[in-house]
Amino acid sequence: MRHRALLACLTGLAVLLVAGCGGGGGGTPAATAPSSPPPSAALPPEPAPSPTRAVPPKPRLRPLPAKLPAGLVRTTGTAKVALTFDDGPDPAWTPKVLDRLKAAKVTATFCVVGTQVRKHPGLLRRIVREGHQLCNHSWNHDLDLARRPVAEIRADLVRTNREIRRAVPKAKVPFYRQPGGRWTAEVVKVAKQLDMRSLHWTVDPQDWAKPTAATIEKRVKRSARPGAVVLLHDGGGNRAATLAACAKVIAGLKRDHGVARLT
């Protein structure tokens, strides 16, 4: 490689008199990507210049499919609707959401993130103790997880379930939800192999974008249909608006459709 680099530099010098020679591993991206490439008659083309060899190349991600893959759970299968809360458990918001659910006498599904479970196992225990359903939401909310190699997807999901069961031994985790809803057929397949159904949603009021509580309430009311799965968040940021919307959202859904836990 050294000889090649030297040769490239020497050849390049003939053309680019002022260009610095990036040999010896100290090259900069600018030096290895000149505006006019050196003549390469004597050299086979290098696949990719890598001035900093210590940094591994970025893994190639498989493309996202244009359509959602088959096999997603998107409705409850009954007339009743289901509430799902993502990105927790969170010490600021999850207890308050649990209080609201308890007051309304409904149960929900919590799509939990592994790193959050590790930090707040007591909250996970409360979620389970109060009769809610669990859903694996990846180890660290990796939006690109579904696009990674299958072995990496599997390791992430297994690690997350292991953390859940460290907090609640023998916890049932019947669902997986891909962060961002960025599903691929591969992640659905891995989840299935791990006995988890892939849980999408029907109604997304986009509470993560911090609309007002009134907007969240209006969006849910407008979009909810029999059997809807409603996506809300109890973690991942300030959830004051979600919390403020909870009481009315839940009351409205109970009145119009009935609320049931996913099974």
What is the contact surface with Zn ion in residues (CB under 5 A)? 86-87, 179
**Identity of the residue, 27 or 236, whose beta carbon is nearer to Zn ion in the bound complex:** 236
Asked if 137 is an active-site residue, the reply is: no
> Among the options 86, 142, 207, 234, which is catalytic?
86
**Identity of the residue, 126 or 141, whose beta carbon is nearer to Zn ion in the bound complex:** 141
30-36-39 Cα angle (round to 5) = 115
Q: How far is the CB of 58 from Zn ion (least distance, A)?
A: 23
Q: How far is the CB of 111 from Zn ion (least distance, A)?
A: 7
**Identity of the residue, 181 or 227, whose beta carbon is nearer to Zn ion in the bound complex:** 181
**Identity of the residue, 25 or 91, whose beta carbon is nearer to Zn ion in the bound complex:** 91
Q: Which residue is nearest to Zn ion (CB)?
A: 86
Asked if 142 is an active-site residue, the reply is: no
**For residue 22, with 0-12 CB atoms within 10 Å meaning exposed, 13-18 middle and 19 or more buried, which class applies?**
buried
197/64 Cα distance (integer angstroms): 19
Q: How far is the CB of 144 from Zn ion (least distance, A)?
A: 13
Q: How far is the CB of 113 from Zn ion (least distance, A)?
A: 7
> Among the options 132, 137, 200, 233, which is catalytic?
233
Q: Are 85 and 132 in contact (CB under 8 A)?
A: no
**Identity of the residue, 87 or 163, whose beta carbon is nearer to Zn ion in the bound complex:** 87
Q: How far is the CB of 50 from Zn ion (least distance, A)?
A: 34
Give catalytic residue positions: 86, 233
